[in-house]
Structure 1
């Protein structure tokens, strides 16, 4: 019996360097190098990010190989994130992957980052079955908010997306306004668990169709905080838990409203959640309640596969490998690229 291919995958679209080894749909090893330096700047500094990718990528590849007990001669292909993302960061991963593929004389596979978030649901996870086609996927992160209609592995249609800021940015910017550390979305989630989500009602933007807009919410929240601080300089400190809970409640409901609309329009009862914001505990609880009320099948990934990770790149590469969808070595990583079909 022919063995499934072994693929080395690299994800370097932003500030984390991730490396995974996968055979078939089974993850053999997965390691991530986190760049903590950005927290002191209140956001990702692109030049620093690419510099740390260069420093971390070789040690992480070696570590992934050691953990999986796999050497380079056993590899069948090398995969990397081709976009979208920070161009400097993408180029580090792409150039390393292409160089290794050329040296080993094996195929090179470029992977679309957001598409990989969706296909992470097909990673083999004990006790969990993947979604059945067709299904909807709510892909939510710092850069993207999309409702995707998934007919097959590489037949996806974006039904709605962010017109301006993504929901992850709305979480982080709200946290920054409250003086919380970067990345702020994690702290909003943590503090929200102790607060009253109805204490401070914020209005939701009116956007036609299935698209999203979060810039108005950020402005609304900023003006609200400025007004309250003018009255009481300790307002945030006194109301931090309730503020976080109210922000989270509003943003999650914006997402849920659009998903309800999409599911009604498509008559599909399967929903998958993907992307870093899908790790938010309040969002998971709210969507679980909705799935029970509406009779959906809801698919939620383990936390390690929600944020940017190389396992999702490897999974997508495995599916492309099976279809001989290889790339030439002149493929160029770009900050904005088309989905594969």
Structure 2
């Protein structure tokens, strides 16, 4: 099991803050640094100093880190044309020496699309576009050197594409797919995903969705055990009740984020992660850190939670 830091820069974080957190994550033993790909805060705040582009950020971080995996949870398929997304992700992969992962979803936050003039079609069309993007990305990255890739879909057409640049990782950077959809999401994960992720879910909800993913894998002729599962939860860790309360989500936060957060003392958080591991068999945990200035929060998890899990037989 590995642990990754997950950030929400649209709430207010510039590149310097993100770089500090990414470097600390690397120094303290985390396996990855991930960020959302949103351009508008969801809590109604201004999110100063303003949004940062996910792939510009990750490309830069790739030059200033050496070990940790870097990626998005998640890029919206509505944000970028698939051919250009393939170029962007492949270049970021080259810039970091092959450490990029692409979380990709259909897109859901209507307000940010309206704010920045991004078309926001129906949910059915968004999933159709999402499917075509997955087909195009996997097709481009699997195209051998010297060959050309063409694709004719309902929403995207590519003609004699040289499929360049090639990413360092072959057949391409790992693609993360997640979400709660009962049919199309598990089916797409079974076809395209290197990892299936759920964020802010309860254990019972995760178990049900993982069972759907297992069934979709079997239908697609894929062994379910070959598709790693991961969970993302907000962290509110502290040595004292006051410290825990200070790091807790506000009452206005979505209920699923608050009720499923990993909150409490180091011992309590270790127990909570153990329950997740026992019930769901997760391979990976993304820890959402909201206050990126609170570096002690990350240091506390690394110092007092990771070693306990390692001592119990779960590599941290």
User: Normalised by the size of structure 2, how large is the TM-score?
Assistant: 0.29
User: Normalised by the size of structure 1, how large is the TM-score?
Assistant: 0.27
Instruction: Select the structure with the greater relative contact order (CA < 8 A; seq sep ≥ 6).
Output: 1
